[in-house]
Homo-oligomer: A and B are copies of this chain.
Amino acid sequence: MSKKRDTLIATADRLFYTEGFAATGIDRVVSVAGVALGTLYRHFDGKAGLVVGVLDYRETAFFARLDETAAGKEGRDRVLSLFDGLLSWAEQKPGNENGCLFLRAASEHPEEPAIRTRVLKHKKTYLTFCRKHLREGGWDAAAARRLAPRIFLLLEGAVATCGFLGNRIAIKQARDAAEDLLSQDPSTPAMQNRS
């Protein structure tokens, strides 16, 4: 909508991720963004509102990237593409190995209901997103419901360990584990076709 608003979100997103929420002052955000302080308060409900705005922006961009990477893939590849999309997202900018911004936002604002509920909503959406890709990959509803939390856990584990193992290795480990997990499960589409 508003150009200034977009600039503020993009700037805050970058600063929050590289320097942390508490360590990034509101003055710093507006100064780097080249926007007046009053403008920020016109668009957002204080700093907490800005944080929520950043998370909204992140979520749509992230899931769009995953959908983009999954386009055209079928069967097991469609599920594994979640890891490929995550890798492309993580390598978007150098130094993108500081963990999940949503979890960091929640842990830095334990008493901010607006932020915590926003993070919870994101994780719920993420889990549903995994289940949807399993369905689209050929798994039935029951299998998708059973396997989705495992895929989700591997994705979250990959992000958490990126800072230590590096993006490439961490996500590859998770992807390989997911591959084993999918091919070993008795309800994989391949097995269903065989019977």
List the interface of chain A (C-beta within 8 A of B).
18-20, 22-23, 98-100, 103-104, 106-111, 120, 123-124, 127, 149-150, 152-161, 163-165, 169-170, 173-174, 176-177, 180-181, 184
Contact = CB atoms under 8 A, between A and B. Distances in A.
Given A159-B160, A160-B103, A160-B156, A184 B180 contact: yes
Contact of A106 (B110, B163, B170): B163
Contacts of A173: 149-150, 153
A57 to B, nearest CB: 19
A18 B111 CA distance: 10
The list of the 3 closest CB pairs from A to B, nearest first, reads A157-B157, A22-B22, A123-B164
Contacts of A22: 20, 22-23, 108
Contact of A110 (B20, B111, B174, B180): B20
Given A165-B149, A177-B154, A181-B177, A19 B103 contact: no
A21 to B, nearest CB: 8
A13 to B, nearest CB: 15
